[in-house]
Amino acid sequence: MKLKKVMNGLTYEVVKGNGDLNIGEIQYDSREVKSGDVFVCIKGYVTDGHKYIDKAYKNGAAAIVISEEVENVPDCTVIKVKDTRKALAIISSNYYDNPSKKMKIIGITGTNGKTTSTFMMKSILETAGYKVGLVGTIANYIGDKKIPSHRTTPESLELQKLFKQMVDEGVKYCVMEVSSHSLYLDRAYGVKFSEAIFTNLTRDHLDFHKTFENYYKAKLILFKNTINSVINIDDKYGDRIYEDALGTKITYAINKEADLKADDLNIHSRGANFNITYRGQTAHINLNIPGKYNIMNALGSVGACLCEGISLEVVKKGLESMDAVPGRCEIVTKGYNLGYEVIVDYAHTPDGLENILKTAREFTTGRLIAVFGCGGDRDNTKRPIMGKIGTELSDFAVITSDNPRGEEPMAIINEIVNGVEKDDYKVVENRKEAIKEAIHMAQKGDVIVVAGKGHEDYQILKDKTIHFDEREIISEILDNAQ
């Protein structure tokens, strides 16, 4: 492929060499560069790609794309652009023949609910007869084919490659989680969304965004590049998104008047029943996932699908055919006759923890027992907040380690405990032992919520990452106890 072709749509200056040479692949990691490749210098928070120009050149780079002045220009084609992150997104799209333009892309953003909403939408769209791709936290999917996911939204090069695979395999709709990081870092730059769903906005990622206003503005980027916005106006930021978003807009809510509304809610331990009303049409939904917030996730998914012309009848069938989402309010004791339940949930924010505990409380006849911690090398201001929420909303809490990463687990736990105002808790640093402690104290009617890791099958320690699947651990503990 010609370099000029992959640079199409960009304003750039050829600092040195031939701007129309034949090239190999696109790379932003100098270690991956091979003879004939283009190396794009991405400036990150840990390092700067401009520092690795010599390494990329020695590995055979035919062209290097920069955004800063370079003292020692290598003996190859060098192209300067204003922003290499945006350039990488456009170059990658061009390289893979602009695959996002050959599908309808539906983006979902918000602090919580993105993953569950993508699975709901995938089920509805497949029920409507479409082949669907999914990009998200748990995994990426092309139809039924599961592809490992390393981050919520891939870097633009990997994202465009995934889009290309989807197009080649006949995908008509791609449903994707769009994280605030990815929006701020232009990973989805240049992608035009057919639908953008706003789920909610609560405290998270302030270690990265620094202020809540920055966090909001990052989320808003999605709603500046969509044909239609589907907005939760029960959330206090919904009205602001509605004002700031471009394109057509529809609203959804439980508590307020909205274009799409849910009422007659009945939430139980195995799911939720409710009615949805849209433009004079009503349908009764039997959802297989419990929780009021999952009804909200369903509403956003329904709204986007209705905007795509899918009938309410198909929407109902698609939602009702979907089982639990891995690690999202997932009851892992269905195969056991224990008299109590254990739920695994990804809740790792104050709002997420509050939601899952309030949901579990709705169908708990005995005690509600919470097992939770906080991740290391992340926003530490939420730790005491989660300590307060986790202990206030449960009858007993076991505070433990999560993914400590580079921090000392007990240092994190001590910050969580700083927010605790009750005595009904216990600290057990080892997460497996903490889960075991909760299970051993469980009695008939109790519900245990193990929060923080959900679908993850690993634990990130200071010096290594170990296999750690809470569903496996819980089964092992229960099997050994019988």
Closest CA to 198 of 137, 113, 276, 260: 113
Closest CA to 396 of 430, 453, 350, 437: 437
273 marked ligand binding residue:
no
452 marked ligand binding residue:
yes
Q: Provide the pLDDT for residue 186.
A: 92
For 22-168, strand residue ranges (E) read 26-27, 38-40, 63-66, 77-80, 104-109, 132-135, 140-142, 145-147
Q: Across-strand partners of 106? A: 175, 195
110 marked ligand binding residue:
yes
Domain made up of 3-95: CATH architecture? 3-Layer(aba) Sandwich (3.40)
Give pLDDT tens digits for 295-320: 999 999 999 999 999 999 999 999 99
378 marked ligand binding residue:
yes
Give pLDDT tens digits for 66-106: 999 988 889 999 999 999 999 999 999 999 999 999 999 99
153 marked ligand binding residue:
yes
Q: Provide the pLDDT for residue 132.
A: 98
Could you give phi then psi for residue 254, rounded to 5 degrees? -110, -40
Closest CA to 368 of 390, 344, 396, 332: 396
pTM summary value: 0.85
Domain boundaries, the chain: 3-95, 99-320, 330-481
Q: Provide the pLDDT for residue 204.
A: 52
Cα three-residue angle 173-349-225, rounded to 5 degrees: 35
- CATH number for the region 99-320 comes to 3.40.1190.10
Cα three-residue angle 210-86-115, rounded to 5 degrees: 60
Closest CA to 114 of 133, 141, 136: 136
Q: What is the three-class DSSP state of 93?
A: helix
Question: What is the C-alpha separation between 168 and 396, in angstroms, rounded?
Answer: 52
Contacts of 61 (CB under 8 A, 6+ apart): 27, 33, 37, 38, 39, 74, 76
If residue 86 lies in a helix (H) or strand (E), which one and from where to where?
Answer: helix 84-95
- Whether residue 104 contacts residue 163, with contact meaning beta carbons closer than 8 Å, is answered with no
For 86-240, strand residue ranges (E) read 104-109, 132-135, 140-142, 145-147, 173-177, 193-198, 226-232
Q: Provide the pLDDT for residue 268.
A: 83
Question: What is the C-alpha separation between 318 and 121, in angstroms, rounded?
Answer: 8
Orientation of helix 114-127 relative to helix 292-307, angle to 10°? 50
Question: What is the C-alpha separation between 224 and 246, in angstroms, rounded?
Answer: 5
113 marked ligand binding residue:
yes
Could you give phi then psi for residue 42, rounded to 5 degrees? -95, 130
114 marked ligand binding residue:
yes
199 marked ligand binding residue:
no
Residue identified by tokens 């795509």 is 308
Question: What is the C-alpha separation between 352 and 47, in angstroms, rounded?
Answer: 32
Q: Provide the pLDDT for residue 209.
A: 47
Fold of domain 330-481: Protein-Tyrosine Phosphatase; Chain A (3.90.190)
CA atoms within 13 A of residue 61's CA, in its CB half-sphere? 30
The secondary structure of residue 32, as a DSSP letter, is: G
Query: What integer best gives the mean pLDDT of the chain?
Result: 94
Give pLDDT tens digits for 160-194: 999 999 999 999 999 999 988 889 899 999 999 99
Four-CA torsion 89, 91, 96, 102, nearest 10 degrees = 60
Question: What is the C-alpha separation between 70 and 454, in angstroms, rounded?
Answer: 45
Contacts of 283 (CB under 8 A, 6+ apart): 275, 276, 312, 313, 315, 316
361 marked ligand binding residue:
no
Residue identified by tokens 């990150």 is 44
Q: What is the three-class DSSP state of 108?
A: strand
Question: What is the C-alpha separation between 402 and 413, in angstroms, rounded?
Answer: 9
The secondary structure of residue 328, as a DSSP letter, is: B
402 marked ligand binding residue:
yes
Q: Provide the pLDDT for residue 396.
A: 98
Question: What is the C-alpha separation between 442 and 28, in angstroms, rounded?
Answer: 51
111 marked ligand binding residue:
yes
Question: What is the C-alpha separation between 396 and 412, in angstroms, rounded?
Answer: 19
Q: Provide the pLDDT for residue 92.
A: 98
Could you give phi then psi for residue 112, rounded to 5 degrees? -130, 155
Contacts of 166 (CB under 8 A, 6+ apart): 99, 103, 133, 142, 174
115 marked ligand binding residue:
yes
The secondary structure of residue 324, as a DSSP letter, is: P
381 marked ligand binding residue:
no
CB atoms within 10 A of CB 329: 24
Which own/partner contact pairs does 21-28 have at CB distance under 8 Å and 24+ positions apart? 21/62, 21/63, 21/77, 22/62, 23/62, 23/63, 24/62, 25/95, 26/88, 26/91, 26/92, 26/95, 26/157, 27/56, 27/61, 27/157, 28/88, 28/155, 28/157
Q: Provide the pLDDT for residue 169.
A: 98
Q: Which residues of the chain have pLDDT under 70?
A: 203-210, 482
